[in-house]
Amino acid sequence: MTAGPRRTIGVIGGSGITTIFGDAATRVHRVATPWGAPSAPLEEGEVGGVRVLFLSRHGTGHTTPPHRINYRANVDALKSLGAEAVVTVSAVGSLREELAPGTFVLPNQFVDFTKQRPTTFFDGGRVYHVSMADPFCPDLLATARTVGAEVGTPFADGKTYVCVEGPRFSTRAESAYFRGFADIIGMTLVPEVTLARERALCYACLAMVTDYDVWAERPVDAKEIGAVMQRNSERMRRLLAALLPRLAHPPTCRCAHALDDAAV
């Protein structure tokens, strides 16, 4: 059976992206989930004729640090309101000289160095082991790659994201270690990406490089990161305005079947 077009796209905005609807009228959803409340009320609007749900990952006024985000409530709230795919925006540090601040990156793999976050919806009862061999939706990645090139904001793709607990930045030794297997570093991808897979959602991360991690012998400066995020935010909004309507096509992936062979 051929899948129909996606009707609802979820967007999780990270640092620098607090809304995507501007002054357009939106509906606001205050959602309760079995895991508590999401980071903020969800905004509903249209982008290019497509229904879009927007959630601010860090809450109103950027008040929730990465290790305290209720990731399960965020993903479950989007799913409960009808999201079929989730596109997220994340600020990251660079572990590679060629990925300079201002570069947009499409990770296709991740390494998890978080320590204390609930990572699954399946804490008891029936057991599921979902495959994360290819953690990001290939359909979303391909479309984002194409649209980025079209609007003059190309992505560096095929990169690995290492997710750390935060909210502190890396030591020099940690940063040098992470360079052995990753290209970018951030604090919010996990468990968001794994929870999306458990809810059978298509998922892609649009990462914005804000700084070189401390391996480059320059301690990370939060004010400098904020300045780069400010410059990148308008570019990302333009990219999302072009990308989101393009995601309404019938999916070519198998993300919706993630649980078919996962149950024990």
Catalytic status, residue 134: no
For residue 10, CA distances in Å to 135, 149, 157, 263 come to 17, 22, 21, 26
Active-site residue, selected from the candidate residues 213, 221, 260, 261: 213
Catalytic status, residue 211: yes
Q: Nearest CA to 244 among 111, 157, 147?
A: 147
Active-site residue, selected from the candidate residues 134, 211, 221, 261: 211
* CA–CA separation, 103 and 80 (whole Å): 33
Active-site positions read 211, 213
